[in-house]
Amino acid sequence: MMDQLRIAMISTGDEVLQGDIVDTNAAWLSQLLNDHGLQMSWRLTVADDLEALQQAFLYASQHAEVVIVNGGLGPTTDDLSAEAASLALNEPLVEFVDWTRVMESRYAQRGRVMPESNRKQAMLPGCAQLIDNPVGSACGFRFPLGSAELFFTPGVPSEFKYMVEHFILPVLQDIARSEAPTIERWLTFGLSESKLSDALNPIKLPAGAVLGYRSAMPSIEVKLKYTAGLPQPDIASAKQQITDLLGENLFCHHNQGFAAEIQRLMLRHGKTLSLAESCTGGMIAAQLVEQSGSSAYFLRGYVTYSNSAKSEDLGIPEALIEQHGAVSLEVAEAMAKGARKQARTDFAVAVTGIAGPDGGSEQKPVGTVGFSLATSQGCYSQMLRLPNRGRTLIREIAAAMALDMLRRFLNGETVLGDYEFIQRVEERRPG
């Protein structure tokens, strides 16, 4: 096993500690480190209190090798990270004039004069090494203390992520004491974590390889971590067994994500797609267009939330909606056919359902969702009852289900698959 670099994080700010904002920076950093074979050992959240911050820095300097401090670098009186760092070092703050000039220049480019309060952001411990911030006014900085190297970063997520990715992560990779492990990822849909564990437990892994799971509803990620020194035939065998055992519930390998995998498959097949969304309200389209280059296959998306929109935009007869209801297999198929015809695409996917918390009935409770995939062969359609775990999760599962139907068709798999946690009420296939 590798000798893991001990990395800690200190998040600062009353608003983080008191729960006014969610610490998304910490979650993002942990995932980034994991993706690169590194691991967070521990983390603290500290209030905007000078003494508490100083003590946290001193503690971290003795219990970690790398400490990433996030927040407290702004121009206001409650931004205390630099001052607390100077106390921990027993070294006064000095003005880094070069950074003051950078800030003045950026304000001048916008036709403004830098407020005097911003000068505080250039006041750093004299021994610090400045870290550039091309996307904000708060520079980062680093210095050694005790057994650790401390990195100070701004709390604004976009600035924090840029600084970590471009400046800090390369340093961490350089000072890691041994080769980072390789992590293989499989993204699954339709099976619970316990079901996956039962399926994969019989695999005999070489000593030092570790199989793990990460639940991120509506998908679950399977991870295999191993180092280069392990027997490669054994690793190759384990990887193939994982892929085979996951079967049609494997959405993609290497954790590209649902939208990236759909784009890869659509471009490989040279096909085009349109969407007709009701209860998902554009969620599927939003996921697809997050991928650069998606316009090569995704031509048009219709958000037809009301009955009138379904009729006006997709040409669905009002009588059909009145007869079967907006949440029905008949309307889902009509939506898919209408989108495919209007957009002139090879495929169209439609979703219509009851996301709640209101609108359900005994016959169609909250979580009832109809899906249809229109192809040149006809429509693959199903009415499902998704777990009622809240409106957002119902919509997220529905979006994932719609993409999974398309993925299965493109892979030549069973389009209307079996899902452990979902009840199928009705289904139809072409012909």
36-75 per-position pLDDT tens digit: 888 899 999 999 999 999 999 999 999 999 999 999 999 9
pLDDT of 289-339, one tens digit each? 999 999 999 999 999 999 999 999 999 999 999 999 999 999 999 999 999
Higher pLDDT, 207 or 412: 412
Q: What angle do CA 404, 408, 409 make, to 5 degrees?
A: 120
* SS3 per residue for the chain: CCCCCCEEEEEECHHHHCCCCCCHHHHHHHHHHHHCCCCEEEEEEECCCHHHHHHHHHHHHHHCCEEEEECCCCCCCCCCHHHHHHHHHCCCEEECHHHHHHHHHHHHHCCCCCCHHHHHHHEEECCCEEECCCCCCCCEEEEEECCEEEEEECCCHHHHHHHHHHHHHHHHHHHCCCCCCEEEEEEECCCCHHHHHHHHCCCCCCCCCEEEEEEECCEEEEEEEECCCCCHHHHHHHHHHHHHHHHHHEEEECCCCHHHHHHHHHHHHCCCEEEEECCCCCHHHHHHHCCCCHHHCEEEEEECCCHHHHHHHHCCCHHHHHHHCCCCHHHHHHHHHHHHHHHCCCEEEEEEECCCCCCCCCCCCCCEEEEEEEECCEEEEEEEECCCCCHHHHHHHHHHHHHHHHHHHHCCCCCCCCCCCCEEEEEECCC
Instruction: Give pLDDT, residue 400.
Output: 98
Q: How many CB atoms lie under 10 A from the CB of residue 247? A: 12
Alpha carbon distances (Å) from 427 to 13, 384, 398 = 52, 9, 16
Residue with the two structure tokens 């971590």: 225
pTM higher than 0.75: yes
Instruction: Give pLDDT, residue 179.
Output: 56
User: How would you list the strands of the sheet with 423-428, edge to edge?
Assistant: 298-303, 273-277, 347-353, 368-375, 378-385, 423-428
Measure the CA–CA gap between 156 and 70, rounded to whole angstroms: 9
Instruction: Give pLDDT, residue 35.
Output: 84
381 within 8 A of 371, measured Cβ to Cβ: yes
Measure the CA–CA gap between 406 and 371, rounded to whole angstroms: 11
**Is 60 exceeded by the pLDDT of residue 178?**
no
Instruction: Give pLDDT, residue 180.
Output: 66
pLDDT of 390-428, one tens digit each? 999 999 999 999 999 999 999 999 999 999 989 999 999
Instruction: Give pLDDT, residue 365.
Output: 97
